[in-house]
Structures are given as structure tokens and as C-alpha cells.
Structure 1
Amino acid sequence: MRHATTLLSCVGLAALVPGWVPGWPVAPARAQEPVHLIVKDHHFVPDHIDVPAGQRFLISLTNQDDTTDEFESYDLKFEKIVVPGGTITVHAGPLHPETYKFFDDYHPDQATGTVTATQGP
């Protein structure tokens, strides 16, 4: 009877957690705090951020320019428009340890930046 209860618990948990496989550990939920950037005078502030390798993360970007900008990264695989005074959020990762580029597609020679994914100690 105990085996049946465990099996039912696993089947029930698998239904609640998409992609979960019975026997695999379930990671505790964690709140993701976004990394905050602004674009002002067609430059990102800060223009470099560090994130932990192997983890998903959020980038929040607020546009303080008086023109529309396009937050884009071929490396990180996102592209999003941000209107003047607007704020957008993009999801990225998990990343391998290295440096990745992002830019404003409307001002690619001025607004550029990097994300470096680093391994923990």
C-alpha cells in the first residue's frame, strides 16, 4: 500500500510540474530578481552585467531616451521594442560561462553592452 501511495504522489506531482519525471528531485521555487538597466542618451547604464552561469535570469530595461529603442541580442536570443519612458523585461539563460553582447538595434554604434556568465566559487 505504501508503494501505491508513493506512486500516486509521483503521478500527481508529475501532473502539477510540467517536464518533471518521477525520481528526479524537485527544485524549490525561487523568486527571480531582474537585473535593472536603463538606456539614456543612446547608452546602456550599466553597460556590463554579471550573471551566474547555468541559471535563467531577467533583464528589466527602462528607456529614458525620447525615441523608441530596440533591445536586442543575437547571442542571448531576444529582441524587444521599448518606447520612450517604457520598461520591458526579457528572459535569458541559462548560459555557459562566457561573455554575450546586446545592443540597441536603432543605435547599434552607440548603445552596446555585455552580459558575462560566471561559474560560482
Structure 2
Amino acid sequence: MMKNRLPLTVLCSIAMLSVSQSHAQQATEIHVTYANGQFRPSAVQAPADKPVIFRVKNLDAKAMEFESTSLRVEKVVAANSEGIINVRALKPGRYEFYDDFNDTARGALTVQ
């Protein structure tokens, strides 16, 4: 009986990997740099109904926290490092984000 289960397990793993790769290929990737306490660019765009991957490169000497209530995400990005934030598929609209450690660092994602 164990012989029959192994191929099924392998097939399920391959199917899940294919779905993950397909999902990653469909996502819109947005690169944002955080330097001198500000996001650059501070205004970004993405198409509607597609997942979004934010790649936030923190060039500052202290940690920052990428946060957004409307996107339902928060992630601390260590000093001089990069953080990856996965966001679900979004409907058209404007979604603000900010550094929770710095009130003046703000940005917005416009989804069309």
C-alpha cells in the first residue's frame, strides 16, 4: 500500500509547485527603495485583479516597518536589507502605505 501513496504524494507536490510558480508569474512586482526616511518612488501603480509583490529595499541605517491598513500588510525591514511583501489581488482604488516608525514616510499604490 505504501507504494501507491508515494506517487500520489509526489504528484500533489508537483501540482502545488506548479500552482505556486503560476501565481508568482501572474503577480505584479513593485520595487520601492527606502532611503533618508522616504519611499522612492512614493507613487506606484499595478493592474487590478492581480497579486502584487512589493520588494522594499531599506538603504537606511535603521529598521523601518512597511505598513498599510488598506493592503492589510505590515513587515519590518531591517537596516540595509530587502523585504518582500506579498499582497492579494486588488480591486481598483488607491492604497496608502507608510513607515510605522516614521510618520512622514508615506506612499500610495494606485490599482487600475
- For normalisation by structure 1, the TM-score amounts to 0.71
Larger radius of gyration: 1
Partner in structure 1 of residue 93 of structure 2: 98
Q: 3-state SS of the aligned residue for 2:50? A: coil
Greater share of residues in strand: 2
Greater share of residues in helix: 2
- Report if the CA contact (8 A) 2:28-2:46 is conserved: no
Kindly state the Cα deviation for residue 34 of structure 1 after the two structures are TM-superposed.
2.1
- For normalisation by structure 2, the TM-score amounts to 0.76
Q: Deviations over 1:11-38 (max 9, x none)?
A: x89xx36xxxxxxxx9x93624621101
Q: Which amino acid aligns with 2:107?
A: G
Q: Which amino acid aligns with 1:50?
A: Q
Q: Which contiguous aligned blocks of 4+ residues in structure 1 show a shift greater than 3 angstroms? A: none
| Matched positions, count | 96
Q: Deviations over 1:67-99 (max 9, x none)?
A: 110010001011101111110000113111110
**Equivalent of residue 108 in structure 2, options 107, 114, 120:** 114
Residues 50-65 of structure 1: matches in 2 within 5 Å? Answer: 50-65=45-60
Question: 5+ residue gaps in structure 2?
Answer: 1-10
Q: 3-state SS of the aligned residue for 1:111? A: strand
Q: Distance in 1 between matches of 2:41 and 2:96?
A: 13
Percent identity, please: 26
